Chain A
Amino acid sequence: MNKYFKLFTNGLLKENPLLVIMIGLCSSLAVTTNIWNGIGMGLAMTFVLLMSEIMISGFRKLIPNSIRIPVFIIIIAAFTTIVDLVMKAYTPALSKAMGVFIPLIVVNCIIMGRVESFSYKRTVPESILDALGMGLGYTWVLCVISIIREFLGAGSFFGMVILPEQYRVGFFSQSPGGFFVFGMLIAIAFAVNKAIEGRGGAK
């Protein structure tokens, strides 16, 4: 397998930030009550991650080691604010639904973690692939959680109501439902990763 392709697929499942590394959970559980929120949050996060990784790996020789964390935060905060302003301007309803979780991308540990452990030491192309992989890994998990929670909790799929009121389980719209769905996904991801490993070992 190509080295670059591997970097990209790493984030999707094998080192999925949410299901395997288990970082950046707060935003993912809080906004995933409907699919649009999941997609919006995932894309916002992917954009900030991608731009921050590009900038930091591009300038990594110009960032003194002793002040790297404050510089990372300045860069991440700048891109987060850009996303926040753009969302407020063009998708006000979505921006309202996300509330404080868009500004909170600044302190999202996925971005901090990837920037510190990956792009500060790697080249720009590698960082781009890592950011896309991690970002999409984050986004797809968010989408799956949102779809399950929206379907069971609000009885709808992409906003279309398909489940009558009496079959809905309000529990899934609340926080404990989020944890429950998330826990199930972790278990499935664990099993899948193990199966893949086992097959690789047998070869």
Chain B
Amino acid sequence: MKTMIKLSFVMAAYAVVACVALAFVYIATAPKIAAAAQEELNASLRVVFSDASTFEDVTADGVGSGAGQIAIDRAYLAKKDGTTVGMVIQATGPTYKTSTVLVAVGMDRRIIGIKLLANSDTPGLGTKTAEPGFAGQFASKSVDDAFAVKADVQAISGATISSRGVAAIVRVAGRAAGNYLAAKAGGAVAPEGAASGGSDDGSTDADSGASEDDASTDAESGASEEAN
């Protein structure tokens, strides 16, 4: 019994010393780590919003969760010298398989740019939505546009479904950003009669039409490094 208590105290003493040492290191490195994480985020978001200098996470601040099968993952206010200049939303939705898109929207409810982050569609067909020829056409469109393929969005031939899916994600994310900016940051308000949320989003990918080959071909390739 006596040895047990003695051993416990010895053990506790080592643990306390280790914890105190770690606390000091943590306090010393925490601001650096936060700055590095913020810088990484800024760099990744500046790809779509080159004008902004910093980004503030407002995901939990009533941006909405998306519409239909399209989910809003994260939302950031883009700031330049302390004033809000727009918003970046990361949304994921069904395309041929699924895509995750960053959508940058300015204060005038116009899209600044989009970037495909993850795209599990057919390589060489559906993945072409990430190329400037397709992704670039969204810039300077108003978020209240219809984003209808073959009308105001030029589809990729052979990948109509992917094109539609990405356009739908951009529409949902763009409107969410426009509405958030109008409500909270003094952005331009949606014109009268504009569609508000895109309640028809789920249907865009339900169309038939096998314009792409089997989705099973795009299973993740390249095994990751051994984990043990």
Contact = CB atoms under 8 A, between A and B. Distances in A.
Interface of A: 26, 29-31, 33, 62-64, 66-67, 70-71, 74-75, 77-78, 81-82, 85-86, 88-90, 92, 100, 174-175, 178
Interface residues of B, number: 23
A88 B225 contact: no
B8 to A, nearest CB: 9
B36 to A, nearest CB: 4
Contact of A89 (B33, B225, B227): B33
A30 B36 contact: no
A70 B15 CA distance: 10
B21 A78 contact: yes
A92 B40 contact: yes
A88 B21 CA distance: 17
Nearest to B226: A175
Interface in B39-68: 40
Interface of B: 6-7, 10-11, 14-15, 18, 21-22, 25-26, 29, 32-33, 36-37, 40, 222-223, 225-228
B29 A85 contact: yes
B36 A92 contact: yes
Nearest to B15: A74
A78 B25 CA distance: 10
Contacts of B22: 78, 81-82
Decide if the interface of chain A is mainly helix, strand, loop or mixed.
helix
Contacts, number: 65
A80 to B, nearest CB: 10
Contacts of B11: 67, 70-71, 74
B7 A66 contact: yes
A174 B36 contact: no
A175 B36 contact: no
Given A26-B226, A30-B227, A174-B223, A88 B10 contact: no
Contacts of A174: 222-223, 225
A2 to B, nearest CB: 34
A29 to B, nearest CB: 6
B33 A88 contact: yes
A63 B21 CA distance: 19
B144 to A, nearest CB: 39
B25 A90 contact: no
A77 B18 contact: yes
B142 to A, nearest CB: 38
Contact of B29 (A66, A74, A77, A88): A88
A179 B124 CA distance: 32
A63 B18 CA distance: 14
Contacts of B15: 74
Contacts of B227: 26, 30, 100
B226 A30 contact: yes
A175 B7 contact: no
A7 to B, nearest CB: 27
A64 B14 CA distance: 12
Contacts of B32: 89-90
Given A66-B7, A78-B18, A29 B226 contact: yes
Given A67-B7, A85-B26, 13 more contacts: A29-B226, A66-B7, A67-B11, A70-B11, A74-B18, A82-B21, A82-B22, A82-B25, A86-B25, A89-B32, A89-B36, A92-B33, A175-B225
Contact of A71 (B14, B29, B37, B225): B14
Contacts of A74: 11, 14-15, 18
